[in-house]
Amino acid sequence: MPEPITELTVNALNGEMYNLFRRYLEKRKVIWTDTRDKWGVLLSVHLTFPPDTTYKQISQTYVYDTDSYTRHYIYLRGEFLLYWNVHKSTQLNHISIPYAYL
């Protein structure tokens, strides 16, 4: 059963996808806030979701190369929005969005 989610801090984000992800999410009324160091290097992104946003953990562990993640679906008003992955050993959050949605 999906659970409500209002906020998420993303600790790992592929630089090549930064602008695509940002436009995709802002278009869907997700508030995107960057945290950067004094040199402008991206440290994290804080996402604030609109009402009716939920998440659901996928029962299996997602394995990429030698790393493993707990994967979740995030839905906005019942429609798929993005994947939220939590790295098993570091507990850092990562998001991914299928290319077809971008």
Tell me the whole-structure pTM to 2 decimals. Answer: 0.85
* pLDDT for residue 45: 93
Kindly state the tokens that stand for 96.
């991914």
Query: Which strand (E) or helix (H) includes residue 19?
Result: helix 18-27
The pLDDT mean for the chain works out to 86
Tens of pLDDT, residues 25-74: 999 999 999 999 999 888 899 999 999 999 999 866 666 666 787 889 99
- The full DSSP string for 79-90 is EEEEEEEEETTT
- 5 pLDDT higher than 90: yes
Nearest to 86 by CA among 59, 51, 61: 61
